[in-house]
Structure formats: C-alpha cells, structure tokens
Amino acid sequence: MISLLMDISSEMIHALLPVYLVVGLGASALTVGIIEGVAEATASIVKVFSGALSDRLGRRKVLAVVGYGLAALTKPVFPLATSVGWVVGARFIDRVGKGIRGAPRDSLVADLSPPHLRGASFGLRQSLDTIGAFTGPLLAIGLMGVFADDFVSVFWVAVIPAVLAVGVLVVAVQEPKRPEGQRPVRRPLSRAELARLEGTYWWVVAVAALFTLARFSEAFLVLRSQSEGLPLMLVPAVLVVMNIAYSLSAYPAGALSDRMDRVSVLVVGLLLLIAADLTLALAPGLVGIGVGVVFWGLHMGFTQGVLARLVADVAPPELRGTAYGMFNLVTGVALLAASVIAGALWDGVGPHGTFLAGAAFAALSLLGLLPLRRRLIGHETP
C-alpha cells in the first residue's frame, strides 16, 4: 500500500514533468535525459549505503521511514520550481529518498516472503506499485482538465498521497524478527563480506546492467507521443497505458518464475523490449506508439520483479541489503548512461535512433542469459 500511494504521488508529477521541462521551462531532450539519468543514478548510489546500513543495524524499517519521509517532504518543491535548476534539485533530493528506502524495502519483502512464493511476492509488490503508477497519470489527466492545463496545481495535489504513504508506513508496517542465530553484519561493505556475494550474484548484476542500457527513462515514451501530436492534456495517458500493461503482467510473471526456469521468463521480457523499441521506432502514428508502449509495459512486468527475486535467491540473507544496494548502484549507473545516450541520439538523429539503439542493446542482453542459466543451477528454490 505504501508503494501504491507513493507511486500515485510520484507519477502525477513525473507524467507531466518531461513536457513541463520542454514546453514550460524550455529544456532540450538531452537535458531531460541528463536530469532523469542523474536522478536515477543518485538513487542507485544511495541504495548501496542504505542497504549496507540496514545489514549493519539489523533493521530495515527505520531507513524506509527516512527514505519515504524525505520523498514526501520534497514533493512541494516541484510546484514551487521556477527554473530547470529547481527541478533538478527537487528530483535529486526525491531520488535520495528513494535511494535510502529502496534496498531496505526490497530486503523487507525478501525477509517476509516464504521462499517458494518469493517470485509471487516481488511480483505482487511490483504490481501494486505499478497500479499507483497508472493511477497517478490518470489523476493528472483529470486534474489537467479541471485546472485548464495548469501544471503547478496538479503538482500541489500530488503532495497528499505522499504524506499518506508515510503515515501507513509508520503505523502499519512491523519489522520482521531476524532468524535465530542470524546477526547483523558489522562491516557489510568490507572486502571479506563482499566476497560472500559469489560469482552467480555478480553475473546477475552484469546481465541486469546490460539490460538497463536498453531500458532508458520512460520520459522518452512521453516525448515520443508528443512528437506524434498527442495533446498536452492526454500526455499522461502514455504512462497510464504502459503501467496498466506492467501491473497486469508483473504478478503473473513473478508467480511463473516460482514454477519454471527464471531465465526463460527474462528471455520473454527482453523479446518484448525489442518488440517495443522496434515498434516505437518504425510504426507510424499514435496507434503505433500505443502498441509500442503496451509492449514496453509488458517487458517491465516480465523482468523487474524477476531480477529482484534473483538477487534474493543468490545473496546470503544477512547481506541482502548490501546485495540490493550494489545491484541498484550498477544498474543505476547503466540507466544514467542509457538516458544520456538516448537524449543525445534524440537530439542528433531523432526518435528512431533512440529506440533502434535500445533494441540493439536488448539483443546483446540475450547473449548474457545463457551463461546465467547454467550458473543458477543449485540456486533453485526448493
């Protein structure tokens, strides 16, 4: 429920932010790519330290409260922004909050989940998170109509669900007890402890990083729809469509990974991403854009929860926070590179170049999955 509420708040803002930056504040597509990439990379870097700290403390909830609380406090900065610099600052601080809460939250999910239902658990959390992600843009569409395309008024309404999310976390979530005999790790980022994250874990990280190069910011889906003439009031519909596809597929894909080879589920996700990129690059008109956006959402459902589950499968339970932190650091740096590359290609070549490059990176990612399948033997959930 916390993920649901915070995503409603965040996506009400993020569904409008790329167009607000370009139309309202005069930013370029490259600037949008840099802002989105830096924001996500910042969150990923912070996740390393928050995850390690949660392992050292042996407690996850307190860091989750700090992270969600910081995100809620920064939401009013967006309607107050009068320049690109304000938006950069707001996104930076908001992503610091995401970084603080991310690894402890994923560790909480893993700690609370029965091993044989771990894929379904991550899929369910991702599904509810994504329901928030399309509810937010739907509210943004309605409020843009009510407020006559006034971005700032919509941004103010987005503050409300963020505050509610923090309230639910403080009141309703209970820290799970650690298994008997499992102690907090005193130096989780030391060489000796990191060495316990064996080769299979690092192979998962490497595959996820290559995959992330193909999965740049969804801001470019919004810009692509605008380039085909979608009215400003309906721009958030892009993320609504994407997130409906995402939410409907995330739980089934997670549950499927509990019953069959997890790498096969990832292969399906990558093939869907290639289909999305090719459609967005080559299909004409808003109908083609809509089909590509649906494929994009489906690929997210088939990959994000499964990758999170793989980290839990191959990392020692007492080092899960650190494992998720390192995973998110590497993929966050990859997302920064991907978003900058996407923005540069957009400005230099056009939208087609951006999405064709994404398809090429996705095809390369498929090559890394074959060795990963062999390495995962022995880590199957009993």
The 10s digit of each residue's pLDDT in 185-222 is: 777 777 777 777 877 888 888 888 888 888 877 778 87
Q: Is 32 helix (H, G, I), strand (E, B) or coil?
A: helix
Q: Which of 180, 285, 175, 143 is nearest to 224 (CA)?
A: 285
Between CA 23 and CA 32 the distance in angstroms is: 12
pLDDT recorded at residue 181:
60
Six-digit token string for 90: 């707001």
Which ranges of 189-319 does DSSP label H, i.e. alpha helix? 191-194, 199-214, 219-227, 237-259, 262-282, 285-314
Between CA 47 and CA 102 the distance in angstroms is: 6
Between CA 229 and CA 70 the distance in angstroms is: 36
Contacts of 186 (CB under 8 A, 6+ apart): 56
Domains and CATH numbers, the chain: 2-171+196-375 (1.20.1250.20)
Q: What are phi and psi of 364, to 5 degrees?
A: -65, -35
Between CA 9 and CA 222 the distance in angstroms is: 18
pLDDT recorded at residue 382:
43
Residues of the chain with pLDDT under 50: 381-382
Please name the residue that has the structure tokens 């919004």: 222
- Give me the half-sphere count of Cα atoms (radius 13 Å) on the Cβ side of residue 300: 24
Chain CA centroid to CA 65, Å:
19
pLDDT recorded at residue 377:
62
pLDDT recorded at residue 160:
93
Cα separations in angstroms, 323 against 38, 68, 261:
22, 21, 22
pLDDT recorded at residue 161:
93
